[in-house]
């Protein structure tokens, strides 16, 4: 533990996970706690936003984050989001090998991410290293 998030309070939405697997929310919660944050986990606080289905959905998330960031910025509250692309989590474990291969080929890096990949992005956004970052959506494809 490096203590990067020591003294911070984090609300992680979508922190449930199917079975014993490691989903995005579970991984983020685990890493936040490891880095010293006090973590509150919430399920479906706004809506079930697993899998942004269209460009319109993504643009709505980006607009929402920017709007809230402008409102809360004067109070020194940073607002950011993560819109992960193809991430291997328990939510998609029922996909067959063909679907997984299509997901990998559609990614610029030619691979699927993991819950930990998403979690480390969240640790960065919550840390002091991102003290000047607000209103942004980390998009991985």
Task: Give the residue among 54, 45, 40 at the shortest CA–CA distance from 12.
Answer: 40
Per residue in 97-108, pLDDT tens?
899 899 889 888
Distance CA 72, CA 81 (A): 14
> How high does pLDDT run on average in the chain?
82
Whether 38 has a pLDDT exceeding 70, the answer reads yes
**Beta-carbon count within 10 A of 33 CB:** 15
The predicted pLDDT at position 41 comes to 67
Range with lowest mean pLDDT among 33-42, 62-71, 95-104: 33-42
CB 112 within 8 A of CB 84: no
The verdict on residue 125 lying in a domain is yes
Instruction: Using pLDDT thresholds of 50, 70 and 90, give the confidence band for residue 115.
Output: confident
Instruction: Using pLDDT thresholds of 50, 70 and 90, give the confidence band for residue 46.
Output: very low
The verdict on residue 122 lying in a domain is yes
Domain assignment of residue 114, given as a range: 9-139
The predicted pLDDT at position 17 comes to 59
Whether 19 has a pLDDT exceeding 70, the answer reads no
Q: What is the CATH number of the domain that holds 97?
A: 3.40.50.720
The verdict on residue 118 lying in a domain is yes
Mean pLDDT of 88-114: 87
DSSP secondary-structure letter at 28?
H
Give 129's contacts (C-beta < 8 A, 6+ positions apart): 4
Mean pLDDT of 5-28: 76
Mean pLDDT of 30-57: 69
The verdict on residue 82 lying in a domain is yes
The verdict on residue 90 lying in a domain is yes
Mean pLDDT of 85-108: 86
Mean pLDDT of 132-136: 93
The verdict on residue 1 lying in a domain is no
**How many structural domains does the chain have?**
1
The verdict on residue 3 lying in a domain is no
The verdict on residue 4 lying in a domain is no
């Amino acid at each position: 533990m490096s203590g990067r998030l020591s003294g911070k309070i984090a609300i992680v939405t979508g922190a449930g996970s199917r079975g014993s697997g490691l989903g995005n929310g579970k991984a983020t919660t685990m890493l936040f706690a490891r880095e010293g944050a006090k973590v509150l986990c919430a399920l479906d606080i706004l809506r079930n936003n697993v899998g942004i289905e269209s460009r319109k959905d993504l643009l709505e998330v980006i607009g929402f984050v920017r709007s809230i960031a402008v409102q809360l910025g004067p109070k020194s509250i940073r607002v950011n989001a993560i819109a992960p692309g193809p991430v291997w989590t328990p939510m998609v474990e029922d996909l067959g090998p063909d679907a997984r291969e299509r997901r990998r080929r559609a990614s610029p890096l030619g691979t699927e991410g993991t819950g930990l990949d998403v979690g480390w992005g969240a640790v960065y956004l919550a840390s002091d290293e991102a003290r000047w970052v607000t209103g942004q959506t980390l998009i991985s494809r």
